Structure 1
Amino acid sequence: MKSKKILHIIAVSFSINYFFGKQFSYLTKKNGNEYHLGCSPSEEFFQLANDLDYIPFSLLITREISPFKDLKSIFCTYTYIKRNKIEKVIGHTPKGGMVAMIASFLARVPERIYFRHGIIYETSTGLKRVILKSIDKLSGSLATKVVCVSNSIREISEREKLNNSSKNVVLGLGTCNGIDAEEKYNPESYDENRIQSLKSKLNIHEDDFVVGFVGRIVKDKGINELILSWESVKKNCQRVKLLLVGPIESRDSISEFSKEKIKNDPSIIFTDFILDASIYYSLMNVFILPSYREGFPTVALEASSMKIPVLITRATGCTEAIIENETGLFITHEPSDIAFKISYYFKNNKIAKIHGDNGRKFVRENFEQTKIWNIIDKTLKI
């Protein structure tokens, strides 16, 4: 089979490990393809290029709506496609997808694949919702295939007529990349001395009960509700810590009250941006994701793979990330329910361990990354 030049487009480098990991290295050995990755420039974008086997294409993509900058990004992508004779283009997230699909359509690239990682307009209202939905529909209409990262996303795509339903594809049970369950998200991979050193650095003691979150610290992730629940958790549970791994973002900002609590509450540990958060799961007793919208929450799979029980809402995509009462529990956005479910695991260590063990089996059977990469190779040939 003739090798091809393939271009992926994403908006920010924060997504690289989640969307791809070592996928390009694995697929290159199978098909000999050459992988290019377009992304807004950052230090980690260029640092990861050699290790993850992609050719970096510096492309400024703004996450906010900016017609002039978007047109410039589209033109730059079109030029890059023509100059490098790119044969397949894959766009990720709404803005990356829009830029990739318009540029590749104008460049007459025969295979254009849009990864719908979520329903971006789901929590928006008014004119903003109309604009965001129109962008998603445009990307879907220009794509030759649309990868929905969960069955929930496919159902919404078909119900809302975001594109012709015949284009829609789901990889296995969902996800965009799968999980490295054998090494990176394997609890046996981490040396106890490293774990103890990190605990010491973060002031976590051996008898602390740690509730963990990994991701962007934003309103859509339910952080405000989690912070509101924390006072109740502290009253009902002794020696508890809340570990927040990720950056506080100005876009979709959390409340000033939440920011103040994160800054000043000694039981809340805030790490800011972490390039590789995998070892941080080793510090957690419970993982929580009180999100309002997802595509497919990869972090929940990472936690399960590390034998951690998961508390998660029934938001889009989240219902497929756990097996209720076997690998985790569903929560609402009510602070009282969040606190109650955290307390449940705090008081029931045996059940927490069973759910964690079940979670690792669930991930290994259905989401181990090489299984997903083989599906990508077979289904999408990218």
Structure 2
Amino acid sequence: MKKLIRITTVPLSLDKLLEGQLRYMSAHYEVVGVSSEASYLERVAKREGVRCHPVSMTRKITPFQDLKAVYQLYRFFRKEKPFIVHTHTPKAGLVGMLAARLAGVPHRLHTVAGLPLLEANGIKRLILNAVERLTAFCATKVYPNSKALCQIMIQERLAPAQKLSVIGAGSSNGIATAYFSRAHFSAETLTELRETLGLSSAFVFVFVGRLVADKGIHELVAAFQALHEKGVACQLLLVGPLESELDPLQATTLEVIAEHPHIFTTGYQNDVRPYFAIADALVFPSYREGFPNVVLQAGAMELPSIVSDINGCNEIIEHGVNGLIVPVKSVQPLFEAMYTLVTDLDLRNQMQANARSSITQRYEQQVIWEAILEEYRTFDRDE
């Protein structure tokens, strides 16, 4: 059986962004998962039923540590002789593709699920541009996980067009719609959760993700404050961890989150489904994404979504059909969309009715997995 090595910078990405996919591929290839944080990686590998190999990688610009990771991966590839190395996340892509090229791995694949460089300026932007171009140079194929992201990569000259392709309708892993379903939760369970969190019966907006500036949290908090100043009865539920190192929130925003009586936080949650189930709408005003799983999950849980007009989000959401699309980094349009969802019951019910079917018809997980496997099999046929 030919060997497939899948690599992410941190095992959380293997765990959440690619959940189930390694196990599926292991029926067709000998699969090895590679990431940092050995103990976490071991748990993921055990669940997926595959072998794992830890390599220390960082998410920051750390040249000496990155060179060490390249060397360790090079030695590992020379020993394992994989048929395919497939990387995800920027740092894993850089070190993984460089090491795979040096080791002579025949099929070097990299999935792009977002471009941090789009929010960078100056020297940092130049460095990140160079990193993406080097990653693409070392790869034999590059897979942006949305059609718009593919066009951005071509426009920014980050990779040759002939190396780029989008698998299926987009997304790196699709969504298990049977799992992301309200059917798993009784009314009693949801009532108990609302009471535990301190939520009232008023409208609940939910945000799921890292609480960082790039996710539009500053604009979201400002728009929510404006709603309350207008006398709109609603609540904001923030589900996800603060990340103070890479992209911290401003002190003023943190203060509002901590002190506003109608903003509730949960921290990181391993299972986000109950929080979708007690909410009335997702609000996700991110600055940049690849193909956001959160929007897929919310739709499968029958929530209309307010998203920013960026690649990925504007491919999942059709304005006025299963959600609303607003300009990126804009408080007033976000406020108006949130106000509309609270006050226009007919529109909200219509979008809610369309939410789940819009996901099941296009992004069912099994369909995405089969499309990725078919891509791998093209390499078998080329041998």
TM-score for both structures, normalised by structure 1: 0.94
| Aligned mate of 1:266, from 261, 267, 272 | 261
Matching residue of 1:5: 3
Deviation at 1:253, TM superposition (A): 1.1
What is the distance in 2 between the residues matched to 1:60 and 1:131?
A: 21
What is the distance in 2 between the residues matched to 1:237 and 1:9?
A: 49
Residues 1:69 and 2:65 aligned together: yes
Deviation at 1:42, TM superposition (A): 6.1
User: What is the one-letter code of the residue matched to 1:163?
Assistant: A
| Aligned mate of 1:362, from 358, 365, 368 | 358
Structure 1: stretches of 5+ with no match in the other structure: none
Of 41-50 and 371-380, the range deviating more from structure 2:
41-50
> Is the CA contact (8 Å cut-off) linking 2:15 and 2:44 kept in structure 1?
no
SS of aligned partner of 1:316? coil
RMSD: 1.7
Residues 1:159 and 2:150 aligned together: no
Residues 1:296 and 2:291 aligned together: yes
SS of aligned partner of 1:147? strand
SS of aligned partner of 1:271? strand
User: What is the one-letter code of the residue matched to 2:257?
Assistant: I
Deviation at 1:270, TM superposition (A): 1.1
Matching residue of 2:31: 35
| Aligned mate of 1:88, from 51, 68, 84 | 84
Deviation at 1:237, TM superposition (A): 5.1
What is the distance in 1 between the residues matched to 2:335 and 2:165?
A: 37
Matching residue of 1:215: 209
What is the distance in 1 between the residues matched to 2:279 and 2:39?
A: 29
| Aligned mate of 2:314, from 315, 319, 323 | 319
What is the distance in 2 between the residues matched to 1:210 and 1:67?
A: 44
Matching residue of 2:279: 284
User: What is the one-letter code of the residue matched to 1:7?
Assistant: I
SS of aligned partner of 2:267? coil
Matching residue of 2:304: 309
Matching residue of 1:235: 229
Deviation at 1:192, TM superposition (A): 3.3
User: What is the one-letter code of the residue matched to 1:9?
Assistant: I
Matching residue of 1:59: 55
What is the distance in 2 between the residues matched to 1:297 and 1:357?
A: 21
1:248-293, Cα deviation, whole Å (9 max, x unpaired): 1121111111111111222111111222322221111010111111
Alignment of structure 1 residues 80-229 onto 2, 5 Å: 80-183=76-179, 185-205=180-200, 207-229=201-223
Corresponding pairs, count: 376
User: What is the one-letter code of the residue matched to 1:226?
Assistant: L
1:158-192, Cα deviation, whole Å (9 max, x unpaired): 12221221111111221111011122x11112233
Deviation at 1:352, TM superposition (A): 1.5
CA 1:194–1:59 in 2, change beyond 3 Å: closer, same or farther? farther
What is the distance in 1 between the residues matched to 2:119 and 2:199?
A: 35
> Is the CA contact (8 Å cut-off) linking 2:32 and 2:51 kept in structure 1?
yes
Matching residue of 2:339: 343
Matching residue of 1:246: 240
Of 211-220 and 235-244, the range deviating more from structure 2:
235-244
CA 1:49–1:349 in 2, change beyond 3 Å: closer, same or farther? farther
1:289-340, Cα deviation, whole Å (9 max, x unpaired): 1111111112111111111000011123321121111010012332222122
What is the distance in 2 between the residues matched to 1:192 and 1:57?
A: 43
Deviation at 1:37, TM superposition (A): 1.4
Residues 1:374 and 2:367 aligned together: no
> Is the CA contact (8 Å cut-off) linking 2:141 and 2:164 kept in structure 1?
yes
TM-score for both structures, normalised by structure 2: 0.94
Structure 2: stretches of 5+ with no match in the other structure: none
What is the distance in 1 between the residues matched to 2:343 and 2:38?
A: 44
> Is the CA contact (8 Å cut-off) linking 1:18 and 1:298 kept in structure 2?
no
> Is the CA contact (8 Å cut-off) linking 2:11 and 2:44 kept in structure 1?
no
User: What is the one-letter code of the residue matched to 1:54?
Assistant: V
What is the distance in 1 between the residues matched to 2:345 and 2:231?
A: 13
> Is the CA contact (8 Å cut-off) linking 1:208 and 1:240 kept in structure 2?
yes
What is the distance in 2 between the residues matched to 1:173 and 1:352?
A: 26
Of 93-102 and 5-14, the range deviating more from structure 2:
5-14
What is the distance in 1 between the residues matched to 2:207 and 2:191?
A: 19
1:52-76, Cα deviation, whole Å (9 max, x unpaired): 2332222221111111000111111
What is the distance in 2 between the residues matched to 1:138 and 1:200?
A: 51
> Is the CA contact (8 Å cut-off) linking 1:312 and 1:331 kept in structure 2?
yes
> Is the CA contact (8 Å cut-off) linking 2:4 and 2:84 kept in structure 1?
yes
> Is the CA contact (8 Å cut-off) linking 1:4 and 1:87 kept in structure 2?
yes
CA 1:42–1:288 in 2, change beyond 3 Å: closer, same or farther? farther
1:319-365, Cα deviation, whole Å (9 max, x unpaired): 11211110100123322221221111111223212212212111101
> Is the CA contact (8 Å cut-off) linking 1:237 and 1:346 kept in structure 2?
no
What is the distance in 1 between the residues matched to 2:38 and 2:331?
A: 37
Deviation at 1:49, TM superposition (A): 2.1
Of 35-44 and 268-277, the range deviating more from structure 2:
35-44
SS of aligned partner of 1:380? helix
